[in-house]
Amino acid sequence: MIKQLVLLLIACAPIQLVHAQMSRIDKRVDSVLKLMTLEEKVGQMNQYNGDWAATGPITQDGDKQNQIRKGMVGSMLNVTGVDHTRTLQQVAMQSRLKIPLLFGQDVIHGYRTTFPIPLAEAASWDITAIELSARIAAIEASAAGIHWTFAPMVDISRDPRWGRVMEGAGEDPYLGSIIAKARVNGFQGKGFGHTDAVMACVKHFAAYGAAVGGRDYNSVDMSMRTLYELYLPPFKAALDAGAATFMNSFNDLNGIPATGNTFLQRDLLKNKWKFTGFIVSDWGSVGEMINHGYATDNAHAAVLAANAGSDMDMESRSYIQHLARMVKGGKVKMSVIDDAVRRILKKKFEMGLFDDPFKFCNEAREKEQWNNPAHLLAARDMAKKSIVLLKNESPLGKGAGVSLLPINKQTKTIAVIGPFAKGVKDNLGFWSYDWADDTARIKTLWTGIQNKLSSGSKMIYAKGCGIADTSRAGFQEAIDAANNADIVIVSVGEARNMSGEAKSRSSIQLPGVQEELIKALMATGKPVVVLISAGRPLIFNWTADHVPAILYTWWLGTEAGNAIADVLFGDYNPSGKLPMSFPRTEGQIPIFYNYYNTGRPAKNENDQNYVSAYIDLPNSPKFPFGYGLSYTSFEYGQLQFNKTSLKGKEPLKVSVTVTNSGTYAGEEVVQLYSRDMVGSVVRPVKELKGFQKIFLQAGESKTISFVITTNDLRFYNNELKFDWEAGEFEIMIGGNSKDVKSAKVNWVK
Ligand code: BGC
């Protein structure tokens, strides 16, 4: 008994320590709060953009330093580098209470070293690698004086027209939740107080990814059930992982702008979910409630946002200009202000900034992290894992001979064609930094391939066309290059500014004449490999139907060229799987794998007889969620269950034997889906419930098991109660969401 007690005490010790530390911080927060005037409190709730870069509409203001000195600014964004942050922090130290500034920044997929865009990383389904990518981003950013990243972006989206899909983890709430957690853990590292940990900011709360028509900033109208079931889980997962802050969103949700939305920010996030951090508005979103038609003017907007729970105003200046007056006029309670300021100060204490405001200003560290070769290696590793092999057939046709990829390193002549062949910055994608030495640092496709080849091999370059060109003037040169080569690699896609914030596209075909270039090269009869770089799922039906080998290479970052070459030449066997469905046409959007069956489901792709179908194309996507090939092949055995009739809390164990039936060692993402056959509300035909990324030698077999409990079967019913219902369940396992082995079990209460 005594021994147990001692063990219990030992086990509880760290928790007690954390509690003691927290209450010490709370006391210190209170002691600062007591000294503050109302104006100084509102100052803490005010965030300005620095002069380094702008990620939204700028308000010219030459007086910022003066306002910092007066204690009118709590945080700055877009100020980076030890030099700059130190200068402004020194100004803050001249203010009456010397409250340190927080420096926030969009460190979305790397800082000095650019990693693949988040959507690409999600395609790796490699959670350890994703966490490491965020960790490295935090190490580099914090070394440059940054305290806080506006990431992870965890918005689920079913609409590839929306440019911001590049920032998220795709369409699935389960995968999205696991990745959200990994990213928070990566950014926040061993915890605040460590100088290489930055605060995460989970965004955009909420439902921003469901903008009508995929047009950025547009309205969102959705049922509460959909909100809870699909759009909120990654936010909750990030919160549970300890995310320090949240950002609200530009959209209205069912008529109420998120920034002024009490239900989202106060009732749900702060009260029900017990979030203790603070919420920052999105850029200008407080003031934008006037445009929404929700606030009459900036003073009204400030009242609505503060009361709804937005603690910090990013750049709209509504708080700094009006909030104190609104408090004095009784429109906002002092307790609302105190609560917001307490949350903000608490984070500054936790970050250790009150103890040392210059804690993140260390030139030696900044210099050391500026060119860290280990980070480049990790970026290359992440990049090769993010690539998705969409097709790999023989140039003679399906099943006619050896698949085109991987390419033999002894190949005599390789034509490398297309606007991305020697492209530099486009490899980085949206939300990346422009450093002065980029041209030397970023690995282009050309250099990546060059590094692989022996001296006996020759490369021929032709651009063919620009990304968005309408001119075919460069085609002949490209055709000549192809005619003189043994193999043709064509790299096409979207420019870096074609997907991202405010980059919605109504047509998501390959831009310009790039697909025409591919057709012209195919007409040479040479074997053609197409690489597609993009920030979203694109439509490229002709290419998909005619070109023997296609790799989806997204925007892969600093090490793009090396990573692509690793895959092209077989030094890495591709293992990526799509985190979003790829549509056949824009007319299919929104398109997603976890749809409802409807009362008139089509029996097959050609069924159009009074069923839910299009008369001009199949319902299925061009490439389904979870899809991606390997240089080897995997075979799945039948599902084995520990039981097929279950009761209550009994776990279901399902196993499947996966065999590498090809000739290369490789990785496979084994995906588990389930379907609740009958519910009190209709349930999707499939829902991802688990996955494991496994490695198999050629010829090797492994039995993979998953455990499912009734926790995994829960859903939101019509009363928004989260529970499971007894009945029949279909359990499915496969290498993508379409090709699965399945069997049913019965589960009673
Ligand atoms: C974006 C946010 C971003 C902020 C600051 C806004 O326009 O929506 O995601 O964090 O700007 O750059």
What pLDDT, on a 0 to 100 scale, did the predictor assign at position 379?
Answer: 98
- For atom 8 of ligand 1, the residue with the nearest CA is 282
Query: Mutual orientation of helices 173-188 and 127-143 as an angle, nearest 10°?
Result: 40
User: Residue 20: what residue type?
Assistant: A
- Quick: pLDDT tens for 96-135: 999 999 999 999 999 999 999 999 999 999 999 999 999 9
Give the mean model confidence (pLDDT) for residues 57-80: 93
Q: What is the DSSP string of 598-655?
A: -SSB-SSTT--SSSB--SSS-SS-SB-TT--B-SS-EEE---EES-SEEETTPPEEEE
CA 606 to chain centre: 35
150 lines ligand 1 (CB under 6 A): yes
Count of alpha carbons within 13 Å of 450, Cβ hemisphere only? Answer: 10
**208: Cβ below 6 Å to ligand 1?**
no
Which tokens belong to 601?
């489901």
Distance, CA 245 to ligand 1 centroid (Å)? 14
- What average pLDDT does the segment 456-477 reach? 97
**Helices 475-483 and 514-522: angle between axes, nearest 10 degrees:** 30
| pLDDT at residue number 2 | 44
53: exposed, middle or buried (Cβ count in 10 Å: 0-12, 13-18, 19+): middle
The answer to whether 108 and 153 have CB atoms below 8 angstroms apart is yes
Ligand 1 centroid – CA 463 distance (Å)? 34
Distance, CA of 232 to CA of 164 (rounded, Å): 17
Q: Give 329-334's long-range contacts (Cβ < 8 A, gap of 24+).
A: 331/303, 332/302, 332/303, 332/306, 332/307, 334/38
Q: How far apart are CA 156 and CA 178, in angstroms?
A: 13
Comparing CA positions, the residue from 465, 416, 424 lying closest to residue 444 is 424
Q: If you take atom 12 of ligand 1, which residue's CA is the nearest one?
A: 55
Q: How far apart are CA 231 and CA 173, in angstroms?
A: 7
Determine contact, residues 92/125, Cβ cutoff 8 Å: no
Largest pairwise CA distance in the chain:
86
Mean pLDDT of 452-473: 96
Q: Which amino acid is at 737?
A: S
Residue percentage of the chain with pLDDT more than 90: 94
Q: How far is the CA of 84 from the centre of ligand 1 (A)?
A: 21
Average pLDDT over residues 563-570: 98
Count CA atoms within 13 Å of residue 658 on its CB side. 24
Q: What's the CA-to-centroid distance between 96 and ligand 1, angstroms?
A: 30
Question: What is the end-to-end Cα distance of the chain in Å, rounded?
Answer: 37
CA neighbor of 658 nearest in space, from 691, 693, 701: 701
Question: Is 50 exceeded by the pLDDT of residue 5?
Answer: no
Contact yes or no for 521/543 (Cβ under 8 A)? no
Pairing of strands 666-676, 727-734: antiparallel
Asked if the model's pLDDT at residue 265 lies above 60, the reply is yes
Q: Are 488 and 526 in contact (CB under 8 A)?
A: yes
pLDDT of residue 17: 64
The 3 state secondary structure assigned to 264-318 is HHHHHHHHHCCCCCEEECCCCCCCCHHHHCCCCCHHHHHHHHHHHCCCEEECCCH
Structure tokens at 490: 């064509």
Q: Is the CB of 155 under 6 A from ligand 1?
A: no
Tokens describing residue 283:
């850029």
Is 70 exceeded by the pLDDT of residue 719? yes
Assign 693 to helix, strand or coil. strand
The finding on whether 712 has its CB within 6 A of some atom of ligand 1 is: no
Strands 46-49 and 413-417, sheet pairing: unpaired
pLDDT exceeds 90 at position 423: yes
Output the pLDDT for position 8. 45
Residue given tokens 């007889």 in the structure block: 609
- Look at ligand 1, atom 6, and give the residue with the nearest C-alpha: 283
Residues 213-222 pLDDT 10s = 999 999 999 9
Name residues whose C-beta falls within 8 Å of residue 281's C-beta, 6 or more positions apart in sequence: 247, 248, 259, 305, 310, 312, 313, 314, 316
Q: Which of 282, 311, 313, 469 is catalytic?
A: 282
Q: How big is the chain, counted in residues?
A: 749
Q: Is the CB of 56 under 6 A from ligand 1?
A: yes
CA distances 181 to 15, 111, 188, Å, are 21, 20, 11
Whether residue 324 contacts residue 313, with contact meaning beta carbons closer than 8 Å, is answered with no
216 CB under 6 A from ligand 1?
no
Specify whether 469 is catalytic: no
Say yes or no: CB of residue 443 within 6 Å of ligand 1. no
CA of 201 to the centre of ligand 1 (A): 11
Report residue 144 as tokens.
């440059």
Q: How much is the pLDDT for 195? A: 96
- pLDDT of 470 reads 95
The answer, yes or no, to whether residue 61 has pLDDT greater than 90, is no
pLDDT above 50 (res 10) = no
User: How far apart (Å, rounded) are the C-alpha atoms in residues 372 and 140?
Assistant: 9
| pLDDT above 70: percentage of residues in the chain | 97
CA 645 to CA 499: how far, in whole Å? 48
| Beta strands per DSSP E along 684-734 | 687-696, 701-708, 715-716, 722-723, 727-734
> Looking at residues 494-508, what average pLDDT do you find?
98
Q: How far apart are CA 284 and CA 602, in angstroms?
A: 46
747 forms beta bridges with: 646, 727
- Residue in 205, 282, 313 to alter for ligand 1 test, most ligand atoms within 8 A of Cβ: 282
Ligand 1 centroid to Cα of residue 205, in Å, is 12
Print the SS3 string covering 386-400: HCEEEEECECCECCC
Q: pLDDT digits over 508-553, tens only?
A: 999 999 999 999 999 999 999 999 999 999 999 999 999 999 999 9
pLDDT band at 12 (very low <50, low <70, confident <90, very high): very low
- Ligand 1 site, residue 246, Cβ cutoff 6 A: no
Distance of CA 192 to CAs 208, 243, 716, Å? 29, 11, 35
Q: Which of 47, 48, 55 to mutate to test the pocket of ligand 1 (most atoms within 8 A of CB)?
A: 55
Nearest to 359 by CA among 79, 47, 89: 89
Does the CB atom of residue 283 touch ligand 1 within 6 A? yes
